[in-house]
Structure 1
């Protein structure tokens, strides 16, 4: 591990995006989303992803200067076409539309097509909290996950995030893949040369595997819960919900037809839409009750769950968002720890672009 200051990583990302023709404000926005992942300890979605964004921009597979358009709209809903821009730019723009609508009429729901990987879903719901709203964000992604009782990739990891503000307590922030783990965790296991836990994946023959290479070489991840007996049907259904809201409803590519995020991944055999899809929802709290009363009730909820009798060998239940807050506290002082392969990727980008990693 090598530690880098969060400011250094953010500045490097922004300069790299500028190198590839991303306008200044958009480059800053994209770097902010990546920095949020590194700050919150979600290492699979921070600068570790920068090499893939750079490759896609370099190959002309992502539009650095998208003309983001609202193509269908009511007072509380909209469909946005991202013009094949960076998801790190299209996502925040669409999320702002959802929040603007929530502020105007109480709720806002925005589906997005023709976009790309948008970073951590949690970024968007934290933005909702800044505007005193409850937020929800989700996206579909390249096929990596087998449906329950399936032996091939058909769905993305299809994450969901949601956040609720507290008064004196930190917010409750839920951010999770609908697969057993995010694909980035498989990548980390490969980089570290360690086996995956049982239940994460199957190999090309549909057999359970703990070898990251076996999953990557024609295997698949499993839905949250892994098997039917452990609730895998629930993860499969959650992934289906995300796929429909983000892509069937927006006009993006759904299921196995979602385009790949990396150059080395094969293109789907056909297109059923444009790009991948996102979905954002926001609610103004005062549409339901007084905001201060709601936040006080969230505080009471948090206090109650923190007082739960701990299970043997544990410190008791965490509140959703606790691990990320603790990571942010430590990394603000110590910087973000990067694995050697990630540092090597950043140095490759530096050599390619002339942007200094200092």
Structure 2
């Protein structure tokens, strides 16, 4: 293996400690830094490397450029007994989304359902951590967000819609919970950034270059557009994310969310979060038994030729989570160097690598 591509492993605890030191070194309060780092590490542990600690350099650059407020705290406005709004005040999206889901859960405990709209926010990383927050509280959830233009509407060629994930989840009993977190594109844009960072090619059906032609070069893809999954279906899902997250919240929409590498103005991202009490229509034990039965039916279904195992949505990531807690989080040399570069900027210690291989 090329030494530049050799994996270097960092324990989850070491990664969290390192991330907190970078965040606090850039003006984030210790309490907020702990929330943000936990969300990032969850992505790394689940194998969603595109939305974990590798995002730290781009987030810190936005702080330095003055278009992300490291000191902002989200503000809650209660609209009705079951509806609230969070103003992210251009702070970290992790904080706004965490506060939003926390309030949604509180309302759902009392009234059965809670809905929170979030405005003036930023990128909140992997949606699954918010779904997991609800599951940990015994709740079902819906998690929507919009994002900066990366995807054409079906039949178009200009960047207009965001590659905005649709996510939802439900707790189970003895089996794994249901966690869906998917982008409406063939692949998440973060995977293209990751391929560019690692000097790797991408599949030819992920994106078009600046001239509207299919490309396997990630840098050319970043100059062009992502392709929606399922053609017009993925395009329509991206528009739906904009309706619920952008239009409804009062945040930017219709292609006006600012990109993560555009220092001209705040991102103004919107989110839409719902928590639902699962025992509204039956006893909780019965609900969990029904979820377990659904899991068993899905993973136990007859397999197509060449398939060794059928996985439940979110199951592969949960298995990866368990494995990486033991082995550590893998990075390549360039990623470690970028993170240590951020440490140098604030006088923090370098990330601790537990082993290479």
TM-score by length of 2: 0.93
Report Cα offsets for 1:130-154 as digits up to 9, x if no partner.
1111011121111111111111111
Does 1:173 find its partner at 2:166? Answer: no
Structure 1: how far apart are the matches of 2:182 and 2:246?
19
Find the partner of 2:320 among 296, 315, 327: 327
The correspondence of residues 13-24 of structure 1 with structure 2, limited to 5 A, is: 13-24=19-30
In structure 2, which of residues 164, 178, 190 is the aligned counterpart of residue 184 of structure 1?
190
Q: Does the 8 A contact of 1:124 with 1:136 survive in 2?
A: no
- In the TM superposition, residue 194 of structure 1 has moved relative to its aligned partner by 2.7
SS at match of 1:175: strand
Alpha-carbon distance between aligned partners in 1 of 2:12 and 2:136, rounded to the nearest angstrom: 21
Question: What are the within-5 Å matches in structure 2 for residues 1-358 of structure 1?
Answer: 1-71=7-77, 73-217=79-223, 219-225=224-230, 232-262=231-261, 265=262, 267=264, 275-356=268-349, 357-358=351-352
1:43-95 CA deviation, whole Å, 9 max, x = no partner? 00111101011111122211122242234611111222111111111110111
Which aligned segments of 4 or more residues in structure 1 are displaced greater than 4 angstroms? none
SS of match in other structure, 1:3: strand
- 1:166 and 1:299 in contact (8 A); partners too: yes
Consecutive unaligned residues of structure 2, counting only runs of 5 or more, are: 1-6, 353-357
CA contact (8 A) 1:126 1:135 kept: no
Contact 1:308 1:316 in 2 (8 A): no
Change (3 A) 1:71 1:165: closer
Given that residues 112 and 277 in structure 2 are in contact (C-alpha distance below 8 angstroms), is that contact kept between their aligned partners in structure 1?
yes
Given that residues 140 and 275 in structure 2 are in contact (C-alpha distance below 8 angstroms), is that contact kept between their aligned partners in structure 1? Answer: yes
Give 1:317 deviation, angstroms: 2.0
How far apart are the structure 2 equivalents of 1:353 and 1:108? 40
Q: Is the 8 A contact 1:40 1:324 kept in 2?
A: yes
Q: How many residues align?
A: 345
Structure 1 length-normalised TM: 0.93
1:298 and 1:72 map into 2 onto residues whose CA distance is 32
SS in 2 for 1:223: coil
- 1:267 deviates by 4.6
Q: Tell me, yes or no, if the aligned pair for 1:156 and 1:255 is still in contact at 8 Å.
A: no
CA distance in 1, matches of 2:79, 2:309: 46
Contact 2:198–2:334 (8 Å) recurs in 1 = no
1:80-133 per-residue CA deviation (whole Å, 9 max, x = no partner) reads 211111111111011111111111211011111101011110001111111111
Give the equivalent residue in structure 2 for 1:228: none
Shift of 1:286: 1.7
Q: Hey, what's the Cα distance between the residues in 2 that align with 1:251 and 1:91?
A: 16
Identify the structure with bigger relative contact order (alpha carbons < 8 Å, sequence gap 6+): 2
Query: Secondary structure of 2:89's partner?
Result: coil
Q: CA separation of 1:342/1:194 partners in 2, compared to 1, >3 Å: closer, same or farther?
A: same
| Structure 1 unaligned blocks of 5 or more | 226-231
- How many Å separate the matches in 2 of 1:95 and 1:241? 20
